[in-house]
Structure 1
Amino acid sequence: MTDPAITARVPGNPVRDLPLHDLAGFTHRWVDAGGVRLHAVEGGQPNGPAVVLLAGFPQTWWAWRKVMPGLADRFHVIAIDLPGQGHSERPDGSYDTHTVAAHVHAAVQALGVSTYWLAAHDIGAWVAFSLALNFESQLHGVALLDAGIPGITLPDTIPTDPEVAWKTWHFAFHLVPDLPETLLTGREREYVGWFLKAKTLAADTFDDAEIEQYAAAITADGGLRASLAYYRHAAESARKNHEALEQHHLTVPVLGISSSHGSIPDMAASIRPWADNTTGIVVPDAGHFIPDEQPDAVAAALAAFIAESD
């Protein structure tokens, strides 16, 4: 691994004080994506089918580090940090998923990719669903992993049963103005660590270094504000999703990936009312963070989905 103190200061990196971690066989890129500078990590087969990967809260592109090598022998693999995430710029303005999706799609185009497959987890899946609604003609297919997508797979009410409430309680907390910042500033590591330990089937899935890495990304340069903004604009994301769905449902192939111990028991069933070509799988022995917990199963599922849909 290259010295992170050096690589964090490469030209074009908008989050220069955050250590930058390398993955063998992959290259860091920064592109202008509709006025927002986004970070991408690119590798694999330049002439192969392009697969774009998006991560969610409280992670960065690093969430896909165990999956990416399993795809690299067949595909052109691109993992992108969303606006406000990792080494991407933390812009002011709206973080509704249609606005963010336009930036992500612009980043893919700026990397020279015209059509692609899309796989996304958690908040990344929020963005991926909205991206598919707006840029369906440039997508081959979309895989959505364990995500409460606003207006789509997210329940209308937050449950109060303690047996399930711990999975979604933070949606309401993140919406409260100012209070999360007051309580979390200086305690980002403890907060991030709770999610990474409580929402995995095996609590030791993430080691201390990984927890520190994700906490540092949220702490750096307005990362906490940006992370909360996705939740604070979730109602607008849901409104825009349904506005688009009134015009057309998705026809691109969609794969819903659930897990045995995740947040959304059946992603495919939740997505199917809005997408005409939906299939689903359940990954065993995993909690919410499926790419970290069962990376080989995720890579195999994505490869099979692409082969079957191509």
Structure 2
Amino acid sequence: MTDASTEHRSCDQNSISGLPLHDLAGFTHRWVDAGGIRIHAVEGGRPTGPAVVLLAGFPQTWWAWRAAMPGLAERFHVIALDLPGQGHSDRPHGSYDTHTVASRVHSAVTALNASEYWLVAHDIGAWVAFSLALQHEEHLRGVALLDAGIPGISLPDSIPTDPDRAWKTWHFAFHLVPDLPEALLAGRERAYVDWFLKVKALSANTFDGAEIDHYAAAVAAEGGLRASLAYYRDAAESARRNHDALERQHLTVPVLGISSAHGSIPDMAASLSPWAENVTGVVIPDAGHFIPDEQPDAVVDAVTAFIDRERAG
């Protein structure tokens, strides 16, 4: 951990230009090298407790976990990361297939001295977490995946045309189109992010204006839009590499599928069970897609119960 003066110097040196850096009481900002790029981490909790690594998805940053982090910190050593291209992490050019990103995430966690850890990940963060488990299972104690259409695993093969369902997944095809999303979204990032956060949450009041501003600024800053789209544009490669790895061995690490009553994937555990030997599931009521924001206490309870059960077993 850094002292206060070093921490402030690090923030000035490492933060993305013009993007405000939010603090959370009891947590410290860190930047670590991961394969030649800088990854931003927010670390706190019990230094000797089990390490729990949190990954967020589109269009969010580590800040998506802010309401759950204090509860987790009571028992665990908590590390929330910005993925490459997200928040205050670097936005490298090159591949954003989830195996490439997973290698960088694991390097970052290792640099933070967590040799064994639990992964808790939402949306695109869950894409990365699944691939990381395929690569580095020996370093993981367990993986909890929240409401995510993982490429090649739980992502539907086609976009539904029924309007009652199409709104949940239409953007996968849109993000794949070359150049057009950038032309339409550059300078309009806030309106786009606002739609996702308000429509995909169960309540349109889940996110206030300041939170929408924060996430929109992160997407707009220094290649953030390019990087956000790249995860989708490399999804086919992510799926191919997932299946190549699964041909060798299915996951043996414990997996928890966390669904929500009004989310995108009705039953995460069922979608994951063909690919893993030890899968359990839980459904969080009164939540849409953004479960950590909408029901943070329920997420803390589910993750804590999962870790306690697997450690006891």
What TM bracket, shorter-length normalisation?
A: over 0.9
CA contact (8 A) 1:7 1:19 kept: no
CA contact (8 A) 1:41 1:80 kept: yes
> Residue in 2 aligned with 1:51?
52
| Structure 2: distance between partners of 1:266 and 1:102 | 28
> Residue in 1 aligned with 2:177?
176
C-alpha displacement at 1:12, in angstroms?
Answer: 4.2
Percent of residue pairs identical: 76
TM-score (norm 2): 0.96
> Residue in 1 aligned with 2:202?
201
| Structure 2: distance between partners of 1:75 and 1:59 | 23
CA contact (8 A) 1:8 1:20 kept: no
| Counterpart check, 1:75 vs 2:105 | no
**Structure 2 counterpart of 1:217, which letter?**
A
1:163-206 CA-partner distances (Å, limit 9, x unpaired): 00000000000000000000000100000000000000010000
| Counterpart check, 1:90 vs 2:96 | no
| Structure 2: distance between partners of 1:35 and 1:101 | 14
SS at match of 2:178: coil
CA contact (8 A) 1:14 1:89 kept: no
C-alpha displacement at 1:35, in angstroms?
Answer: 1.1
| Structure 2: distance between partners of 1:221 and 1:266 | 36
> Residue in 2 aligned with 1:115?
116
| Structure 2: distance between partners of 1:269 and 1:122 | 17
SS at match of 1:164: helix
**Structure 1 counterpart of 2:134, which letter?**
L
| Structure 2: distance between partners of 1:170 and 1:294 | 25
C-alpha displacement at 1:16, in angstroms?
Answer: 2.9
C-alpha displacement at 1:10, in angstroms?
Answer: 2.2
| Structure 1: distance between partners of 2:13 and 2:119 | 25
> Residue in 2 aligned with 1:25?
26
| Structure 2: distance between partners of 1:9 and 1:101 | 24
1:98-144 CA-partner distances (Å, limit 9, x unpaired): 00000000000000110000000000000000000000000000000
| Structure 1: distance between partners of 2:140 and 2:12 | 31
| Structure 1: distance between partners of 2:13 and 2:136 | 27
How do 1:119-268 residues align onto structure 2 when only pairs under 5 Å count?
A: 119-268=120-269
> Residue in 1 aligned with 2:3?
none
1:210-259 CA-partner distances (Å, limit 9, x unpaired): 00000000000000000000000000000000000000000000000000
Which sections of structure 1, spanning at least 5 residues, go unmatched? 1-5
Change (3 A) 1:8 1:129: farther
| Structure 2: distance between partners of 1:170 and 1:16 | 28
Change (3 A) 1:141 1:24: same
> Residue in 1 aligned with 2:300?
299
| Structure 2: distance between partners of 1:60 and 1:150 | 20
**Structure 2 counterpart of 1:211, which letter?**
I
C-alpha displacement at 1:7, in angstroms?
Answer: 5.8
CA contact (8 A) 1:43 1:72 kept: yes
> Residue in 1 aligned with 2:4?
none
Which sections of structure 2, spanning at least 5 residues, go unmatched? 1-6
C-alpha displacement at 1:23, in angstroms?
Answer: 0.2
| Structure 2: distance between partners of 1:195 and 1:7 | 33
| Structure 1: distance between partners of 2:179 and 2:108 | 31
| Structure 1: distance between partners of 2:9 and 2:229 | 24
CA contact (8 A) 1:9 1:16 kept: no
CA contact (8 A) 2:17 2:222 kept: no
**Structure 2 counterpart of 1:141, which letter?**
G
1:57-104 CA-partner distances (Å, limit 9, x unpaired): 000000000000001111000000000000000001000000000000
Change (3 A) 1:120 1:8: farther
| Structure 2: distance between partners of 1:293 and 1:259 | 10
CA contact (8 A) 2:56 2:122 kept: yes
The count of residues paired between Structure 1 and Structure 2 equals 305
**Structure 2 counterpart of 1:309, which letter?**
E
CA contact (8 A) 1:8 1:15 kept: no
| Structure 2: distance between partners of 1:13 and 1:176 | 32
CA contact (8 A) 2:269 2:280 kept: yes
C-alpha displacement at 1:8, in angstroms?
Answer: 9.4
C-alpha displacement at 1:15, in angstroms?
Answer: 1.1
**Structure 2 counterpart of 1:188, which letter?**
E
